[in-house]
Amino acid sequence: MTQPLPHDDAKHDGSKRHSLECMLWAGTGLLWTVVGGVPRSALIGSAQAQTPGGGFSFAQVSDSHLGFSTPLYSDVAATTAEAIAQLKSGPAPSLVLHTGDVTHLSRPAEFDAAQQIFGTSGLEIHYVPGEHDVIDDDGKGFYERFGRGAGPAGWYSFDAGGVHFIGLNNVMNLRAGGLGQLGAEQLRFLEQDLRDRSASLPIVLFAHIPLWTVHAPWGWGTQDAEQALGLLARFGSVTILNGHIHQIIQKVEGQIAFHTARSTAFPQPAPGSTPSPGPVRDLPAGRLHSVLGVTRISRVEGRAPLAIIDTPLGA
Amino acid sequence: MTAKPWCRRSLIAGWGIVLAFSAKRTEAATATIVIDDYLFMPAELRVSIGTTVVWENRDSSPHNVLSVADPRVFRSRAMATGERFEFTFAAPGTYGYFCGLHPHMQGFVVVE
């Protein structure tokens, strides 16, 4: 299907269509520029590396896994708190999306730690669950604490800064050998939620497991994502933010930009690069802060509309 | 209290039978599946009826064990590192299972 490119569309008819045009990957000194769906990378120049200012901005935090501990990743509460402090140290985002695996084992003490770090941050945080948040109780503990604004099954939508946000839950009832799944009921919700909205409205959809198949043998994908993407196809600007894989991977398909965030706890290997997706075991000493981090997203009225900037906790 | 000689002999013989029986039962009736590095090892396990299978999580990541049958025949809670789950198979059959947290992890137990 061929659709007019969003920036061309805006140029020609002055509509409010927006697309992802600029991604900065500050952690490795790479600047990703995406124009018309073609990503290009270049070394960051000082002018280019500036955060777009003056627009609505929000941030993404993911996979804090509070409760996890190994000798290599011994204090995930500290690195997560550091990520939150880093967010607060810059221009304050209007809101924060947490894309799941807030905790490691859904245990009360872990939820308490999460409330201590996120709940006292003063930031407006919207959550979706990861599979680690719904262990053994089908998410009851998670929804009690972090289900604000969500329906009983964990999905919801809201508007902020001229952007329509949709939080989805693709971590329930996972099947043997399968990927994440949304399910028929949630797809109906999505259809109804989008039905009467203008195609020029920027959409940000966030869920834990990637909504595109990053690596099926490890379950890194969502089996019925295609149906969801079909419902989003008519919109001029769609940004999909996921977690789960603890690394940045991005893709642009038509007018849909996909992006996965780093974890604030531990990194996972590149898809298929090791026998298993377990935490990276051979991380060189002193490199931890370069593989953890947060994501900032800005919408700038009238020009490069949505910019995604990933910031590591350190070099 | 001192037991009479014939009594002691009976007791010793009795314990011997019990111990022999226990040893045989333990050897035949327990099998272990180790979970490590996102794998069930062995992924295929053959046991006789009445065997208790123990899943032991030695991975740094948590895992659980869910039978694929509907309704489920067994379902563990999430096991942190070092935790275990056991289930005794009373009926013959092939029991597929997987990790509900990482569904690509699969295995099965054949009970004969």
Percentage of chain B with pLDDT > 90? 72
User: Given an 8 Å threshold on Cβ–Cβ distance, is B106 in contact with A278?
Assistant: no
Supply the pLDDT for residue A291. Answer: 85
Supply the pLDDT for residue A204. Answer: 93
Q: How many domains does chain A have?
A: 1
C-alpha dihedral sign at A80, A82, A85, A89: negative
Residue A16: pLDDT band with limits 50, 70, 90 = very low
Q: Mind listing the pLDDT tens digit for each residue in A108-141?
A: 999 999 999 999 999 999 999 999 999 988 899 9
Closest approach of B65 to chain A, Cα-based (Å): 11
Q: Is A306 contained in some domain?
A: yes
Q: Is B53 contained in some domain?
A: yes
Supply the pLDDT for residue B1. Answer: 41
Supply the pLDDT for residue A170. Answer: 97
User: Given an 8 Å threshold on Cβ–Cβ distance, is A177 in contact with B106?
Assistant: yes
User: Given an 8 Å threshold on Cβ–Cβ distance, is B78 in contact with A135?
Assistant: yes
Q: Is A109 contained in some domain?
A: yes
User: Given an 8 Å threshold on Cβ–Cβ distance, is B96 in contact with A176?
Assistant: yes
Residue A55: pLDDT band with limits 50, 70, 90 = low
Average pLDDT over residues A197-215: 94
Q: Is B24 contained in some domain?
A: no
Q: How many domains does chain B have?
A: 1
Percentage of chain B with pLDDT > 70? 75
CB atoms within 10 A of CB A313: 20
Supply the pLDDT for residue A54. Answer: 54
Please give the Cα distance from A250 to A20 (Å, whole number).
11
User: Given an 8 Å threshold on Cβ–Cβ distance, is B68 in contact with A105?
Assistant: no
Q: Mind listing the pLDDT tens digit for each residue in A72-107?
A: 898 999 999 999 998 888 788 899 999 999 999 999
CATH number of the domain bearing residue A185: 3.60.21.10
C-alpha dihedral sign at A239, A240, A243, A246: negative
Q: Is B23 contained in some domain?
A: no
Evaluate whether A101 touches A138 at the Cβ level (below 8 Å).
Answer: no
Q: Is A281 contained in some domain?
A: no
**Nearest chain B residue (CA) to A178:** B103
Residue A300: pLDDT band with limits 50, 70, 90 = low
Domain residue limits at B45: 29-111
Supply the pLDDT for residue A106. Answer: 94
Please give the Cα distance from B102 to B62 (Å, whole number).
9
Q: Mind listing the pLDDT tens digit for each residue in A212-270?
A: 999 999 999 999 999 999 999 999 889 999 999 999 998 888 888 899 999 999 999 99
Q: Is B12 contained in some domain?
A: no
Q: Mind listing the pLDDT tens digit for each residue in A166-192?
A: 999 999 989 999 899 999 999 999 999
Q: Is A153 contained in some domain?
A: yes
Q: Which candidate, A224, A315, A306, A314, places its Cα nearest to that of A51?
A: A306
Q: Is B60 contained in some domain?
A: yes
Percentage of chain A with pLDDT > 90? 55
Please tell me if residue A72 touches chain B, with a CB cutoff of 8 Å: no
Contacts of A179 in chain B (CB under 8 A): 103
Contacts of B68 in chain A (CB under 8 A): 176
What lies within 8 Å, CB to CB, of B106 at 6+ separation is: A176, A177, B40, B43, B96, B97, B98, B99
- Selected for mutation to probe chain B from A134, A135, A246, A283 (highest B CB count within 10 Å) is A135
Please tell me if residue B102 touches chain A, with a CB cutoff of 8 Å: yes
Residue A297: pLDDT band with limits 50, 70, 90 = confident
Q: Is A265 contained in some domain?
A: yes
Q: Is A7 contained in some domain?
A: no
Domain residue limits at A92: 58-274+288-312
Please tell me if residue B89 touches chain A, with a CB cutoff of 8 Å: no
Q: Is B54 contained in some domain?
A: yes
Contacts of A142 in chain B (CB under 8 A): none
Please tell me if residue B104 touches chain A, with a CB cutoff of 8 Å: yes
Contacts of A104 in chain B (CB under 8 A): 62
CATH number of the domain bearing residue B75: 2.60.40.420
Q: Is B9 contained in some domain?
A: no
